[in-house]
Amino acid sequence: MSTDARRRVAALRAEIARHDYRYYVLDDPQIPDAEYDRLMAELKALESAHPELITPDSPTQRVAGAPSAAFGEVVHAVPMLSLENGFTDEDVVAFDRRARERLGVTEPLWYWAEPKLDGLAMTAIFRDGSFVQAATRGDGVRGEDVTANLRAIRAFPLRLRGNAPRLLEVRGEVFMPIEGFERINREALARGEKTFVNPRNAAAGSLRQLDPAVTASRPLRVYCYGLGALEGWVPPPLQSEVLGALKAWGLPICPHAERVHGVAGCIDYYRAMAERRARLTYQIDGVVFKVERLEYQSRLGFIARAPRWALARKFPAEEALTRVEAIEWQVGRTGAVTPVARLTPKFVGGVTVSNVTLHNFDEVRRKDVRVGDTVVIRRAGDVIPELVRVLPERRPQGALPVQRPERCPVCGSEVLKPEGEAVARCTGGFSCAAQRQEAIRHFASRLAMDIEGLGEKLVAQLVEGGAVRSPADLYTLSVEQLQTLERMGKKSAENLRRAIERSKHTTLPRLLYALGIREVGEATALALARHFGELEPLIEAACSHPERVEEVADVGPVVAAHLHAFFSAPAHRELIGALRASGVTWEPFAPSTAELPLKGQTFVLTGTLPSMTREQAQAALGALGAKVSGSVSRKTRYVIAGADPGSKLEKAKALGIPVLDEAGLRQLLAAHPRR
C-alpha cells in the first residue's frame, strides 16, 4: 500500500471536514461548492483504488450499506428529559422565582437563552472523537437507532476536532431550514408527489427513513444544545461554556443563543426573538431558558420528566381552527367590494381574531369558503390574519357556495366586476356613503374642480358632520357653516367660500374628470370632451349607444361599461342636475379647428413604465390624436419602452424606429400641451 495514498486520503478528509466545519458550524464557507465536490471526487477515487483505507468516519461513508428493514432500539444511558412549557411572562417570572427560592439565591440568576427549534430531538455518541451512534428521543427512556441516518447528514460531523473525550454524548435538534423545506416541496410537487405540511414534519420524515440515501438528499441541519453520558471529561461550570466546548469540537450550535441576566433578560430575549422570528432561516416555536451554572442545575434536579432549571417559553400558536359565521361584503373608499368572513372569535398568534378579509370573490371561490365551514386561520407575527383553508370534511350539510352581490350592500347601486379583474366595485360613487368622502375629495382636487384649500381633512369633517352628502352640497355651504369647522377662522372660511365659488366656472374635461367615473382619468376625460363637445351627447351615447363611446380614441369596452353604469344611475343624473342648479357651468368643448398635434402618428408601447400605467400613456397619446398600436411596423413613429420590454423593442431597433423611455414620452407630451 502506498504511503502517498494514505497521506493524500488523510489530507483530503481533513480538508473536507474543515470545509464542513466552516460551512455548518462557523457559517463562513471558504470554497465554492464545485471545489468541494472536486475534493470529494478525488477522495472517492483514491478510496476505491485503496479500499483498505476506508474508515467508517470517512466523509464518503455518509451513505453506506443497504436500507434496513426497521430501526433498532436504543436505551438512553441518561434519560432524555422534556421541557416545561410557559405561555406568559408571568410563567417566566414564576419559574425564575421558584429556581431562586430553591437555591436560596436572592440576586438575579444568569440564564442561557436559545431559540426553541421546531424539529426533532436526537442524541449522538462520539467515542474517542468518532461518531458511533445516534438515536431519536422516543419516550425519553428508549428511542430509535438512527445512526445511519445521522451519519448521512452532512451538517453533522463524523469526527470531532481537537482533543475529544473518551465518550461524549451530545443532544440536539434535527431540523430543516425553511428554504430547504420549500425547495423539497417544490421538487415533490413537480414529480407529482405528496408535500410536507411544515418543516418539522419534513425533518421527522427525512430522519426516520429506512434508506439513509433519502436522508442524505434532504437539507437537514442539527444544532446541539446539551449533554448526555460522558467519560474522560469534566464539563466546565457554565452552560455557555459547555456549548463553547461543543462548538470547538466542531459540533454545530445555534448562533442565536446568548447569556441573559435575570428574569428581565429572559423576557427581553423572548421579545427580541419573537420580533426576529419571521426573518430567521429556520422555524422556532418559542425560546428556552436554562440556568447557566451547572452546579445550580444539579441542585435543582428535575420533577416528573422535566428539569427544574429549564423553561420553554412558547410563542402563541399561529394557527387555529374556528368557524365561519357569516360572509359579508365591505365597501372601501374607492368602491371596491371586498368579502369578509366573520368568525367565531379565536385567540391565535397572540390576538383574538374575529374576522378575516377574503380579498375578492375569486379568492372566495378558490378556497371555496362557505358559511358554517370550519376553517384554519393563521396569524404570524404582526402579519394580518388570514384564512388558510377550509376543512371540507367538517362542512355542515346544505352549506351553499357564496354568491357575489349584484347590489352594493351600502347604497344598493349596481356592483360591477370587469372581465379579467379580481375586484368588484360599487358603481354608486357619491351616492354611496362608503365612497362619499373619497369621491368628494377627488371632486375638489386640483386637476378636477380645483377648490383651493379644500383638502382631505376638511372634506372628512364636512362629510362626517353631515353638511355635505354630495358634491353639489359644497356649493350651498355658507361662510358661517364653514367657520364651525376645526381651526377655521373667519378669514379662512371666506377664502374657502371664494374658492368654491370660483370653481363653479369650469371646463367639460375637468367636470368629467371630477365626477370620478372609474378609469376616466384626465386624458380620457379630455378625449371624451373633445369627441362629444358637450355633456348631453356623451350621456346619451353612454346610456343608449355604448358603441359610439368606443369610437373615441383609446376608449375600449371597459371604459364604455363604466360610463354606461355611471350615467345610467339616477343618483348621478340628479347630481348633474343639482350641480347645474347650484350654478356650476362648463364651457362646451369647442372642437379645435387645428389638427391634433400627433394626428396620423402611430405609437407602440412595450414593457412597464416606472410611473405611468399603460392606460394612462395610451390615453395621453390618444388625447393628442396619436394612434396606439399593438405591433411594430415601418409606419411606427415611436416605440415607448419600459422595464422588461418584449420583442417589440428588438423589432423597433431592427427597423431603426426611435425608442423613448417614460421621460422621453413625458417630454413629448409636454411639448404639446392639451387645453
Where does this chain bind ligand D41 (CB under 6 A)?
Answer: 81-83, 114, 116-117, 121, 137, 173, 225-226, 288, 290, 307, 310
Q: Interior CA angle at 330 toward 328 and 335, to 5°?
A: 145
**Of 294, 230, 222, residue with least CA distance to 78:** 230
Cβ(342)–Cβ(126) below 8 Å = no
The residue among 117 and 459 lying less far from ligand D41, judged by its C-beta, is 117
Query: Measured from the CB of residue 80, what is the shortest distance to ligand D41 in angstroms?
Result: 6
- Which phi and psi (to 5°) does residue 109 adopt? -90, 155
Of 137 and 441, which has the nearer Cβ to ligand D41? 137
Minimum Å gap between C-beta 464 and ligand D41 is 53
Q: In terms of CB distance, is 81 or 467 closer to ligand D41?
A: 81
Q: Which is nearer to ligand D41, 55 or 198 (CB)?
A: 198
**Nearest distance from residue 183's CB to ligand D41, in Å?**
23
Count how many Cα atoms sit within 13 Å of the Cα of residue 375 in the half-sphere of its side chain: 32
Q: List, by residue number, the catalytic residues.
A: 116
Answer whether 169's CB lies under 8 Å from 77's CB: yes
**Residue 286: what are its φ and ψ, rounded to 5°?**
165, -165
Q: How far is the CB of 159 from ligand D41 (least distance, A)?
A: 24
Give the residue with the Cβ less far from ligand D41, 273 or 555.
Answer: 273
Is 375 in contact with 389 (CB distance < 8 Å)?
yes
Which grid coordinates belong to 481?
Answer: 357653516
Secondary structure string (H, E, C) spanning 463-523: HHCCCCCCHHHHCCCCHHHHHCCCCCCHHHHHHHHHHHHHCCEEEHHHHHHHCCCCCCCHH
Amino acid present at 391:
L
* C-alpha neighbours within 13 Å on the C-beta side of residue 559: 24
d(CA 19, CA 31): 8
Smallest distance from ligand D41 to CB 95, Å: 13
Q: Spell 138-150 as b/e; 16+ CB within 10 A means b.
A: beeeebbbbbbbb
Q: Which is nearer to ligand D41, 287 or 341 (CB)?
A: 287
Minimum CB distance to ligand D41, residue 439 (Å): 55
**Ramachandran area for residue 633 (φ above 0: left; ψ -120 to 50: alpha; else beta):** beta
- Tell me which residue has cell 441573559: 260
> Distance from CA of residue 374 to its chain's centroid?
24
The span from the CA of 249 to the CA of 340, in Å, is 55
Inter-CA distances, 187 with 96, 204, 215, 218, 243, Å: 46, 18, 15, 11, 36
Exposure string for 434-459, b = 16+ CB within 10 A, e = fewer: bbbbbbbbbbbbeebbebeebeeebb
DSSP per residue, 120-141: EEEEEEEETTEEEEEEE-TTSS
Residue whose CB is less far from ligand D41, 57 or 84: 84
Smaller CB distance to ligand D41: residue 177 or 226?
226
Strands (E), 37-186: 73-75, 85-86, 110-117, 120-127, 130-136, 142-144, 167-175
The least CB distance from residue 282 to ligand D41, in Å, is 10
Query: How many residues are recorded in the chain?
Result: 675
Which residues, 6 or more positions from 132, have their beta carbon under 8 angstroms from its beta carbon?
125, 126, 147
CB of 173 or CB of 292, closer to ligand D41: 173
Pairing of strands 374-378, 386-390: antiparallel
CA–CA separation, 28 and 534 (whole Å): 72
Task: Pick the closer one to ligand D41 by CB: 307 or 516.
Answer: 307
Binning the chain into helix, strand and coil, the percentages to the nearest 5 are: 40, 20, 40
DSSP state of 431: G
Strands 585-587 and 505-507 come out as parallel
Question: Smallest distance, Å, CB 285 to ligand D41?
Answer: 8
Residue 107: CB minimum distance to ligand D41, A = 23
The distance of closest approach from Cβ of residue 516 to ligand D41 in the complex, given in angstroms and rounded to an integer, is 56
CB nearer to ligand D41: pick between 247 and 672: 247
CB of 357 to ligand D41, least distance (A): 34
Residue 522: all three cell numbers together: 384626465
